[in-house]
Amino acid sequence: MRGSDFLQLDPEPVGRGARTEWLTLRLRTAILDGALGIGSRLPSSRVLAEDLGFSRGTVAEAYRRLTEEGLIAGSAGAGTTVVAAGLLSARAAGRSAAASAAAPAATPAGAPAGRSDAWVEVPGASHDAVPSSLPHADVIDVATGLPDLAAFPRGAWLRAEREVLATATARQLGYAPPEGTVELRHELSGWLARSRGVVAQPDRIIVTGGVTGALSLVAQLLRDDRSVPIAVEDPCAEGSRRILRHWLGEVTPVAVDRDGIEVRRLSASGARAVLVTPAHQYPTGVVLSPERRREIVAWARDGGNLVIEDDYDAEYRYDRRPVRAVQPLAPDAVAYASSLSKTLAPALRLGWLVAPEHLHPRLVELRWAIDLGSPALPQLTLAHLLRSGALERHLRSMRVRHRARRDAALVALREHLPGCSVVGIAAGLHLVIELADGVDDERIAADARAEGVLVQPLGRHFAGVGRPGLVISYAGNHPARVQRAIEVLAHVIHRRGGTLAAS
């Protein structure tokens, strides 16, 4: 009698050609429902195949699909286990833990209160939300602001790390200075000068946990100094706003127009600090104009205020001349933060901060007090990649790759949404489709999700009502999938009445 104790699976009614689909569906359902919680061990494919009377290849294929979906993970010698949870089990966990942030991995801490939708924030440098479950096997995710992670330079990274470990001295494997290893700060000093025009000696660089780590350090200092309020662009990355609100309470939104943040409104706001994304405004993509740059530097110097420059994906420019950072105009008034999360991967949490000299010592002390500084080994590995030129080669190939995806998005937009207003296409990893006033972009995004496409509504990045639109992150998807996503979005938009903004 065929059948498994595991999940009480009964294969009798299943047609031979449908076995893989059936098994994949049964397992996926059990995981998303919570019947198989995180950490549950699945039987080996050999054992389950025997129990069900299936070929081992059938079971292995089902496991492979679920691994691709990020629901399970296997390793030689330790078996296959469930590594993610679905929305239902996450919600149940959430209720039982009294809205604790200890819900399983699929609902990270910081989920916006009151949002019953499956949208979950991955705050901070990611700038975008990640859905808490995968209702379809073939969901296209243009919501998450990730680079093409399939292109992470695994070989180059491992070779560099091997070289580092082969030559590392005991000092290098011990405790690095809290501001970061001298090896990486030395390379970054040159890299930042070459790539962004940033002025920074190695001893003025602080290695942080990504851009968010840098932002958090500065915010804590502002809090200690009572240098409030802090202004943010409106719209701005919701994750950044939430980080700043954690440390500083409320933030002051200042409107952004085609030239970037409106510095006159900033001056009138009474803010003592401001967070800006000058090279490629998030999410609108505009570049802070030369005049606005002069104005914001004057505002900072005249008032003893601080400009925090988030240079998050400035490496990716396609159709325009390079745009220098603001920092070199006024290193005494600008705290510059960037990372390589968009070029390597967020999994490395490698970022840096170049702060005005008068703030530097206190920032280093704070970095020390938080956890003695970032891990040395990834820093040494990155330093190696910078020194050898491998990182710059990788960046060039990523730029080509991302450009192709951007171009595919534009082709699809011309075909499926002709005449729509698109912004931010000259650089970065995302673009914005503007929708007509009054359109409910949250509803459009929900409709899209039902059709298997995850996209960010623009409106949630505004402090107030804002303007409706869709933020399409194209970099993380194969060009054909980007185009398919746009086709679906166009369909959804038209179904709601062709609600595009005049371009």
For residues 180 and 229, which CB has a smaller minimum distance to a second copy in the complex?
A: 180
CA triple 149-476-401, angle to 5 deg:
85
The amino acid at residue 135 is P
What b/e sequence results for 178-188 when a residue is b if at least 16 CB atoms lie within 10 Å of its CB, and e otherwise?
Answer: bbbbbbbbbbb
Write down the least CB distance from residue 390 to a second copy, Å. 10
For residues 18 and 173, which CB has a smaller minimum distance to a second copy in the complex?
A: 173
Rounded to an integer, what distance in angstroms lies between the CA atom of residue 456 and that of residue 129?
7
For residues 57 and 70, which CB has a smaller minimum distance to a second copy in the complex?
A: 70
What token pair was written down for 284?
Answer: 């609108």
Write down the least CB distance from residue 348 to a second copy, Å. 5
Rounded to an integer, what distance in angstroms lies between the CA atom of residue 83 and that of residue 41?
10
Write down the least CB distance from residue 366 to a second copy, Å. 8
**Location of structure tokens 């070459």:** 194
What token pair was written down for 467?
Answer: 């303007």
For residues 11 and 479, which CB has a smaller minimum distance to a second copy in the complex?
A: 479
For residues 83 and 287, which CB has a smaller minimum distance to a second copy in the complex?
A: 83
Write down the least CB distance from residue 106 to a second copy, Å. 8
Rounded to an integer, what distance in angstroms lies between the CA atom of residue 8 and that of residue 11?
10
Write down the least CB distance from residue 386 to a second copy, Å. 9
Write down the least CB distance from residue 11 to a second copy, Å. 28
Nearest to 30 by CA among 17, 42, 20: 42
Write down the least CB distance from residue 122 to a second copy, Å. 5
Nearest to 493 by CA among 436, 454, 422, 412: 436
Write down the least CB distance from residue 101 to a second copy, Å. 4
For residues 88 and 150, which CB has a smaller minimum distance to a second copy in the complex?
A: 150
Distances from the Cα of 271 to the Cα of 226, 227, 256, 338, 374, angstroms: 11, 8, 16, 23, 31
For residues 142 and 263, which CB has a smaller minimum distance to a second copy in the complex?
A: 142
For residues 217 and 297, which CB has a smaller minimum distance to a second copy in the complex?
A: 217
Q: Secondary structure of 313-377 in the HEC alphabet? A: CCCCECCCCCCCCCHHHCCCCEEEEEECCCCCCHHHCCEEEECCCCCHHHHHHHHHHHHCCCCHH
φ/ψ (deg, to 5) at 317: -125, 145
